């Protein structure tokens, strides 16, 4: 993102903050999926400077978020994958009508910056890459992240689960898996594409029916102490002015 574009987005968010945020500063607890970490963190920084709000921003895998929410951990706003949000909606613990779908994002293979880009044009090409790669970084399966669940389904369908497991370089999340590639600790990583970090690059999206598109959504818990401020922040996140930032981050409009 160039400086002019970044400045324009920052100004747009400032104006939106002034227009939609209720008067008075607030403390907001946000629990979020890792796939939107970079986007939301950047927006929080700018939004808080203009409104005076203080944010407690907690990030985790789908499994970690499920456990946190089930345990009754306080939040004023949650951002999760659509399947998990659907589970939470059934519990009646969300403010009716507060759910907003933010966007959808796919999965891809990441390589180190400067490394040759592998062929990922077909599912068979992906299979051969997984077989031939010296090491593969992915989220620790114990954390039940969206990307590793899909990777293991792919490996199982190819009949190469043992191969992928033996080559695994376990990470705490998609961004950490990308970091391991960037630092030479793994040859490739399979992650959600919004989690690519500096020093690593997206080789390609997963091909054909190996791809998983995940919609991410926000909602306000019924126990939120600041529902009006949480709603104002959602309105800022989903405004037309912010659409280019979501696109740059790898997201598409939800379908």
Number of domains in the chain: 2
In this structure, the answer to whether residues 8 and 59 fall within a common structural domain is yes
Task: Tell me the chain's radius of gyration from C-alpha atoms.
Answer: 19
> Any idea how long the chain is?
255
In this structure, the answer to whether residues 148 and 230 fall within a common structural domain is no
Region of 118 (left: φ > 0; alpha: ψ -120 to 50; beta: rest) is beta
In this structure, the answer to whether residues 36 and 20 fall within a common structural domain is yes
pLDDT at 255: 77
pLDDT at 21: 52
pLDDT at 193: 98
In this structure, the answer to whether residues 175 and 122 fall within a common structural domain is yes
In this structure, the answer to whether residues 8 and 98 fall within a common structural domain is yes
With 0-12 / 13-18 / 19 or more C-beta atoms within 10 angstroms meaning exposed / middle / buried, residue 207 is middle
In this structure, the answer to whether residues 99 and 111 fall within a common structural domain is no
Q: What is the CATH number of the domain that holds 123?
A: 3.40.190.10
User: How far, in Å, CA of 102 to CA of 240, rounded?
Assistant: 12
pLDDT at 18: 44
Q: Would the pTM count as exceeding 0.85? A: yes
In this structure, the answer to whether residues 126 and 205 fall within a common structural domain is yes
pLDDT at 11: 45
In this structure, the answer to whether residues 82 and 119 fall within a common structural domain is no
In this structure, the answer to whether residues 37 and 100 fall within a common structural domain is yes
In this structure, the answer to whether residues 125 and 53 fall within a common structural domain is no
In this structure, the answer to whether residues 241 and 190 fall within a common structural domain is no
- In order along its 255 residues, the chain shows pLDDT tens digits of 444 444 444 445 544 544 445 556 889 999 999 999 999 999 999 899 989 999 999 999 999 999 988 888 999 999 999 999 999 999 999 999 999 999 999 999 999 999 999 999 999 999 999 999 999 999 999 999 999 999 999 999 999 999 999 999 999 999 999 999 999 999 999 999 999 999 999 999 999 999 999 999 999 999 999 999 999 999 999 999 899 999 999 999 987
Q: Supply the range of the domain harboring residue 33.
A: 3-104+215-248
pLDDT at 26: 87
Q: CA of 90: how far to CAs of 85, 93, 95, 96, in Å?
A: 9, 8, 12, 11
Residue 196 lies in a domain: yes
In this structure, the answer to whether residues 202 and 152 fall within a common structural domain is yes
């Amino acid at each position: 993102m160039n400086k002019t574009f970044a400045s324009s987005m920052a100004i747009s968010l400032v104006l939106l903050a002034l227009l939609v945020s209720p008067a008075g500063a607030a403390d907001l607890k946000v629990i979020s999926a890792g796939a939107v970490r970079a986007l939301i963190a950047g927006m929080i920084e700018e939004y808080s400077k203009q409104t005076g709000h203080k944010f407690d921003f907690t990030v985790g895998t789908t499994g970690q978020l499920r456990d946190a929410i089930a345990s009754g951990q306080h939040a004023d706003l949650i951002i999760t994958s659509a399947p998990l949000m659907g589970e939470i909606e059934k519990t009646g613990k969300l403010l009716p009508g507060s759910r907003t779908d933010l966007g959808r994002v796919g999965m891809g293979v990441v390589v180190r910056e400067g490394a040759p880009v592998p062929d990922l044009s077909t599912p068979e090409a992906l299979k051969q890459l997984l077989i031939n790669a010296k090491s593969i970084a992915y989220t620790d399966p114990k954390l039940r992240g969206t990307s590793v669940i899909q990777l293991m389904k792919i490996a199982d369908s190819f009949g190469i689960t043992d191969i992928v497991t033996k080559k695994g370089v376990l990470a705490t999340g998609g961004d950490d898996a990308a970091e391991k590639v960037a630092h030479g600790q793994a040859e490739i990583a399979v992650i959600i594409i919004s989690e690519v970090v500096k020093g690593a690059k997206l080789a390609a999206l997963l091909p054909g029916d190996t791809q998983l598109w995940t919609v991410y959504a926000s909602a306000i818990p019924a126990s939120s102490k600041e529902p009006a401020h949480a709603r104002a922040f959602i309105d800022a996140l989903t405004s037309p002015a912010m659409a280019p930032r979501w696109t740059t981050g790898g997201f598409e409009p939800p379908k």
